[in-house]
Each structure stands twice: as structure tokens, then as C-alpha cells.
Chain A
Amino acid sequence: MPEGLYGALAEFKSPEDLLAAARKVREAGYRDLDAFTPFPVDGLDRILRLPRPTIAFVGLAGAVAGAGIALIMQFYVNYDYPLNVGGRPIYAISAFAVVTFELTILFSALAMLVGMLWQNGLPRLNYPVFDTDRFHRASKDRFFLCVSADDAKFEAGETLAFLAGIGALSVELVPG
């Protein structure tokens, strides 16, 4: 990795331009890529070969934990303080259903949302790409492709020229 460099950033006008460029960059042999877009762009993950997200498993773990905690809690408090209400069962699973359901949802949803932030490494208020001049439009109407300086094929001047040659509106180096 070249000292003090994060990568090369190329700006595109539309999601279609970005997808076409991403395909060309892959074909040219670059592997360590990321894109920055104002909204999720369909198909980008297949072209960039991004790993499939695992949030669903995090959610499942949360759901199991929530259901378990709810059931254990309700069984335990009725065991610890049994109250006979007209001979009705102490361990009334049907009566426990509501709180169990609520806690299943609560733990699952919170696990997914916190897990999403955690896996994304957020909150992280600063990041190298923010230091470039045009990046503020990534949240507005421009689509950016970034070749990391860690990429085996990365060579500052060459990579910039290549990105400029595949239809980028602007290219620039990102200081690391």
C-alpha cells in the first residue's frame, strides 16, 4: 500500500454508468472495490462480488434470545411467587404467549439494527473519502466507484487514467 493514500475515486452520473464501469474495472483485474451511492443500487453487489450480508442470522439469534428470556422470566416469577387464581394453571403457556411474542420481536429487531451498524463499523464520523472535493454529491445525485490503494493492481497514475478512460465525470486520489 502506497504511503498516505486510501485509493482512487471516480464519479459517475447514473447507476447504469456506475454498473458498467464497475464491470470494466472488475474485468481489468481490480478486486478491492467499493461504491458510494445515494441509494442502494440493484446488482452492484453481484458485480463487485460483495459478501452476502448476515443480518438475518443476527436477527434469528436475537429472536431466540428474546423468546428464551421471556419464557424463562415468566416461568421463574410464577415459580417464585405462585398465585392461585381460581385454580387456573400456574404455568399458563397461552397467557405467556403475548409477552414472549413481544420480546421476540424486540430483541430480534434491535439485534438486527444494532448488528447492522456494528458490522458496518458505524458510528465512525470521519472516513478518508470525505476528504475529497466532490464526495458530498454521493448523498445527492452522483455515484462513486473507489479502487482501494490496497488492491494488488493499484498504481496511482495508471489507475486514475484507467478510471478516466471508462467514462468517469471526474477522478481523484483519496488521501489516507
Chain B
Amino acid sequence: MSDRSDILPTRQSMGRIADQLTDIPLHFPVERRWLIAMMFASGLLLLLMVSVVELFTRGVGIWGINIPVNWAFAIHNYVWWLGIGHAGTLISALLLLTGSEWRNSLNRFAETMTLFAVVCAGIYPILHLGRPWYVYWMFPYPATMGVWPQFRSPLEWDIWAVLTYLTVSLAFWYTGLIPDLAAARDRATRRGWQIFFGVTALGWRGSARHWLRWSQAYRLTAGLAVPLVVSVHSEVSLLFAAGQIPGWHSTIFPPYFVLGAAFSGFAVVSIIAVALRSWFGLENLVTNDHLDMLGKVLLATGLMTGYGYVFEVFDALYSGETHEIQTLVDRLAGAYAWTYWGAVLFNFIPLQALWWRVVRRSGWMLLLVSVSVVIGMWLERYMILVTSLYRDFLVSSWSHFTPSFWDWSTYFGTIGLFLVPFLIAIRLVPMISIFESKELLHEEKQEKQHA
């Protein structure tokens, strides 16, 4: 690895990095822009609240769902949000284990993104319940009715997978944050910040004994988080694949879903990376080399997702099953063909620009490609859901799905649910890992000395 060029510019000092990153919460530099973004995000969150009140008052009939399309936006956006979340864990855990140092400038905000994306995903199945106030029926508690949850059903697996994922992500995020909270505590001058960081840093003092245990716990948890991500999104795909609906009942689904999740997630990480670095002037930490690596990962996961598209078609044809082939034809040329071709167009056409180094290294162009991927993956989840359901086995039950106003308002509202806590997190905690950046900078300087 020593012949590789440095990912962090070595002409900066450790102290400078610590000051620069702790200053973001302590002396927030872009108060105005942050307030404008916060107002926009709060507006969307308000929209969500209104939509949820309307939903709880009048029931799921306010959405466009019907029989046979009884799963639509709720599960579609659930899968979309959860998929976005997965890139955060992959960046922080998988790349930690493989020793990819470029992750150190990205992992903190990617993990933060994961937390709030999982929250957005998690509320959807609850909203879709019909009687959401009975959500506790999903948990095994000794009910007076004498019944227990059905553990042989993927719908029951779901709640365990998502809650586990949320809890482990939160614990992993916080553990990685403790040393940086201590750094912010030691820089804080105002009483309020001293108390906030003093309490949240738990008295971390960087003792060699503590670092030893911390490193082992952090790396082992990362080792657990990687299979966890794969299992969670595989489990989500089993919600579909374990049923018999044509277009869903396929063994390609778990890898197809996991790769698509990583693809959309890396796109969102790229968007956040470009936005944060231009907001806070972090070009010395999130360098063009980082964008270059993100672009490459985006391209690679995109091509793997493309392979899933090819294999899905092959799977249907190879099965020789009439309904499977009918669903395939519906996808390519049916009433919702625009979702299929829209997904192909948005996912894979602008993506090809990433073969060029100059595109990967340009923030704006990477941003545009990433936005296109996020739209494309959204269309893909729409396509997978609706095209399988609207024409199933019985012609008499064929129908159509058109999203209603409340479908859209709930969906845009969850973007507010994501942005509001994310903006608060930017305001409160260092969004780039301070100690890992310093560690990497030190290693690079050492290598330079020895060279």
C-alpha cells in the first residue's frame, strides 16, 4: 500500500485538523444557510405530521392503495430509505476492516445518514399497519389473548431486523464518536458546550488502556455490522421473495436488493460529501481523491445492480412460468413501463460518465450523477412493487395504482424527517472523525519520512 499517493494532504498539522473540525459545532460558520435549510426541512417535517394525523384519522384509504396493489408507497419507500442507510454501515465497517483509509473522512456523516435513514424506513411499516396503535402486537409479550407473534413469517422477521440494525448502528456511531466528543469538550469555552460535550464524552481521557479495549470493541463490532447489513436487506427482500407473487418469487432477490441498497446509499453519501465540503470548506479533508474513490464505488455497485437487472430477466425466461413471463412483459411494455425504463435510464446512463476520472473528481458532476441514481433507485423500487402486483394471477383482480396526494405528502415528509435530525447532528457533533483523520495524517507523514 505504500506506493499509493496520500489521500490527505500532509501539509497540515494535527492541531489544525482538531481546531477546524471542533470549530464547526463550537463556532458554527454558516448559521444563515443552516437556518434556511432547517426551515425548509422543518416545513417537510410538518407536512409529514399533517399527513400522519390525516392517516391516523381516516385510515390507509387516503392512500392510492387497493386490492391487488395493497403494498405501494409505504413499502416502496421503506425499502428505498433502508437501502440508502446501508451505505453508511458499509463505509464505516467494511472499509474499516479492509483498511481503506479514505473512509476516515466520510464515515461519521455516512453513519449519521444511516441512523436517520433507518428511522425514516422504520416508520413506514408502522404507518402501513392500518391500526398502527397495535404495533406492540409485533413483540412477544404475554398477552391476555394467549397468542404470540408468528416467528415463521418474514413480516415478523422484519421488526427484529430493523430494530437490531438501528440499535447496533446507534451504538457503533456513538462509540466512534466518544473520542471526538472529548476533543470538542477540551476545546469548548462556553459553559453550555462544556457541559454538553463533558457529559456526552463520558469522561474519555485517551488512556492507552482505554484505547486498547476501545479498538478491539470497535473493530469487532464492525466485523458484526457487515453481515448484519447483508442480513437486514436480504431479510427485506424475503418479504417479497418468500411470497408467490410473480416477479418477486426469486432467489436473485437478496443479492439484487443488497447491491441496489449499497448503490443508492453510496449515491447519497456522495451528495452529502459534496454538500458538506462546500458548506464548511473541508477540501483539505474531503479531497478530490475521496470523491474519486466514491465515484469508483458508485460505478462498481451500479454495474453490479445492472447485473441484477439482466439476471432478473433471465430468471423469468428460464423459469418458463407463464405468470413470471407475463410480469416480465408487463415490466418492459406494460402500463408501468415508464418506471422500468426510467429506472434503467436514471440508474445506468449518467452513471457511465464515472468512467472518466475528470467527472469523478468534480464535485458538481458527481453530485448530478448521484441525484440521478437516487431517482433511478426510487423508480426501481416502485417498479418492483407495482408491476408485480397490479396484474397477478387472476384477471378479475387486475387493477391499477395511482399515488394520491397523501402518498406524496407522506413521502416528501419523510425527507424532512431525515433532514431535520441530520441538520441538528451537523450542528452538534463533529461531522468528520477527528481522531481517525489525525491518525491517518500521522501515518502518512511517517511514510513520507521513511521514503
Interface residue ranges, A against B (CB under 8 Å) = 14-15, 34-41, 44-45, 48, 50, 52-53, 55-56, 59, 73-74, 77-78, 80-81, 83, 85, 88, 92, 95-96, 98-99, 101-103, 105-106, 108-110, 112-113, 115-117, 119-120, 122-127, 129-130, 136-141
Contacts and interface: CB of A to CB of B under 8 A. Distances in A.
A53 B151 contact: no
B152 A85 contact: yes
Nearest to B439: A39
A122 B210 contact: yes
Given A38-B435, A92-B152, A105-B168, A116 B217 contact: yes
A18 B442 CA distance: 14
A159 B204 CA distance: 26
A86 B152 CA distance: 13
B117 interface: no
A53 B212 contact: yes
Contact of B217 (A48, A55, A78, A98): A55
B215 to A, nearest CB: 5
A39 B438 contact: yes
Question: Which 9 residue pairs are nearest across A and B when measured between Cβ atoms?
Answer: A77-B148, A123-B202, A116-B217, A141-B14, A39-B439, A141-B15, A35-B208, A95-B152, A40-B211
Contacts of A105: 164, 168, 224-225, 227-228, 231
A127 B205 contact: yes
B206 A38 contact: yes
Nearest to A37: B206
Contacts, number: 184
Contacts of B187: 136, 140
B208 A116 contact: no
A38 B160 CA distance: 37
A99 B160 contact: yes
Contacts of A92: 152
Interface residues of B, number: 63
Given A39-B435, A45-B208, A123-B202, A98 B171 contact: no
Contacts of B208: 34-37, 41, 44-45, 48, 50
Contacts of B168: 105-106, 109-110
Interface in B1-57: 13-15, 18-19
Contacts of A50: 208-209, 212
Interface of B: 13-15, 18-19, 140, 146-152, 154, 156-157, 160-161, 164, 167-168, 171-172, 175, 179, 182-183, 185-187, 198-199, 202-217, 220-221, 224-225, 227-228, 231-232, 235, 238, 435-436, 438-439, 442
B172 A109 contact: yes
Contact of A55 (B147, B179, B216): B216
Given A40-B214, A105-B227, 16 more contacts: A14-B442, A38-B206, A45-B208, A56-B220, A77-B140, A92-B152, A98-B154, A98-B157, A101-B227, A106-B164, A106-B167, A109-B168, A116-B175, A122-B202, A138-B206, A140-B186
B203 A56 contact: no
6 contacts: A36-B207, A38-B438, A98-B238, A99-B156, A113-B175, A139-B182
Contact of A102 (B147, B212, B231): B231
B255 to A, nearest CB: 16
A115 B175 CA distance: 12
Contacts of B140: 73, 77
B224 A108 contact: yes
A107 to B, nearest CB: 9
A127 B157 CA distance: 45
Contacts of B167: 106, 110
A45 B18 contact: no
A129 B205 contact: yes
Contacts of A88: 152
A37 B217 CA distance: 18
Given A113-B171, A139-B182, A53 B213 contact: yes
A140 B140 CA distance: 48
A120 B206 contact: no
B238 to A, nearest CB: 8
A41 B149 CA distance: 49
Contacts of B14: 38, 140-141
